[in-house]
Structure 1
Amino acid sequence: MATLSFQGNSVHTNGELPAVGSIAPAFKLVNSKLEDVGLAAYVGKNKVLNIVPSLDTPTCAASARMFNQKAAAIANTVVLLVSADLPFAQCRFCTSEGLDNVIPLSTFRSGFADDYGVRLTDSLLAGLTARAVVVVDADDRVLYTELVAELANEPDYDSVLKVLAAVG
């Protein structure tokens, strides 16, 4: 279990992010066509898992926009925008925002939040995901993780970009 804060109050996750150097846990998330999509769908590519509680919040929306902007310039990399929002809402958000460089995926019907240790277990947001970033290389090895200490803050984009630049 990890501890972070939300507006100054302690909140907890169900576990820990995957360890750097480990193989990323396989997952099934739901895409905009209500199809299950797994890690294997992105074999051979570097993957940025931008995990957010809900795209209906300003910080999550800002994170989606920033990764969409940065993703356009990163070769052999996909940005997976993971949230508990229903696929319909994710698709509507990405379309209205013009986000073409992120792939929205929902934790709907999925054990992803538990498997990645990001399910919030208490507070008003219990059941949603914590804000986190996991960078996985083309061979599915975890290169970088960040559990954002304050849920209302954005992740460290520069560190993510530095890791991706190092793997080329």
Structure 2
Amino acid sequence: MANVTFKGNPVTLVGNEVKVGEKAPNFTVLANDLSPVTLETSAGKVRLVSVVPSLDTGVCDAQTRRFNEEISKLGNVELLTISMDLPFAQKRWCAAAGLENVHTVSDHREASFGEAYGVLMKELRLLARAVFVIDSNDTVSYVEYVAEGTTHPNYEAAVEAVKAAK
């Protein structure tokens, strides 16, 4: 498993580490209207999956805005931001942020995504910061488990991976 810290403290990641070249694991999370969202929901598209501990923090806010801006330029790419935030809080954050291209989804109910992608922090029951690119054939083409949960991911590498997957 990836070695990850949060605020300098080591955390235990629950689930399976995902690797480039593997078939993307399925998951079930909740949209803002409480409807289920799965990997199949965006079948046939390239997906950038941005995983954040909570939208209500500075780095998570910045990460979501940055990927929203970058992906909006590419067309036909699904941007999913996944956190343990409640769907209602995610909807409120999106409205306040004025973002249109990002789909925030919540893993709070079952931690299905967290366990399937190995990003569930056992000690905090939050998701570790990570980025995954999944191509239109559901193959993982990019993975970044961010080593320190309070730092930014490699935006440039993730966006280049999306471009390569198109």
Which amino acid letter does the alignment assign opposite residue 164 of structure 1? Answer: V
> Who is 1:145 aligned against?
143
Matched, 1:93 2:64: no
**CA–CA distance in 1 between the matches of 2:140 and 2:14?**
19
> Who is 2:120 aligned against?
119
> Who is 2:103 aligned against?
103
Choose from 142, 155, 168 the match for 2:153. Answer: 155
**CA–CA distance in 1 between the matches of 2:2 and 2:121?**
9
Cα RMSD (Å) of the superposition? 1.2
1:17-51 deviation per Cα after TM superposition (whole angstroms, max 9, x unaligned): 31110110011110011011111110110001101
Give the TM-score normalised by structure 1.
Answer: 0.94
**CA–CA distance in 1 between the matches of 2:12 and 2:108?**
21
Which amino acid letter does the alignment assign opposite residue 84 of structure 1? Answer: M
Q: Name structure 1 gaps, 5 residues minimum.
A: none
> Who is 1:13 aligned against?
13
- Please tell me whether the aligned partners of residues 15 and 117 of structure 2 are also in contact (alpha carbons under 8 angstroms): yes
SS of alignment partner, residue 150 of structure 2: coil
**CA–CA distance in 2 between the matches of 1:37 and 1:164?**
21
- Please tell me whether the aligned partners of residues 16 and 115 of structure 2 are also in contact (alpha carbons under 8 angstroms): no
- Please tell me whether the aligned partners of residues 141 and 165 of structure 2 are also in contact (alpha carbons under 8 angstroms): no
- Please tell me whether the aligned partners of residues 23 and 139 of structure 2 are also in contact (alpha carbons under 8 angstroms): yes
Runs of 4+ in 1 over 6 A off after TM superposition: none
1:44-79 deviation per Cα after TM superposition (whole angstroms, max 9, x unaligned): 100011011111111111101101111111122111
> Who is 2:80 aligned against?
80
> Who is 1:22 aligned against?
22
SS of alignment partner, residue 80 of structure 1: strand
Displacement, 1:112?
A: 1.5
Aligned residues: 165
Displacement, 1:16?
A: 4.2
**CA–CA distance in 1 between the matches of 2:162 and 2:128?**
22
SS of alignment partner, residue 89 of structure 1: helix
Give the TM-score normalised by structure 2.
Answer: 0.95
**CA–CA distance in 1 between the matches of 2:116 and 2:74?**
27
Which amino acid letter does the alignment assign opposite residue 49 of structure 1? Answer: V
Displacement, 1:6?
A: 2.0
Which amino acid letter does the alignment assign opposite residue 46 of structure 1? Answer: V
**CA–CA distance in 2 between the matches of 1:7 and 1:86?**
23
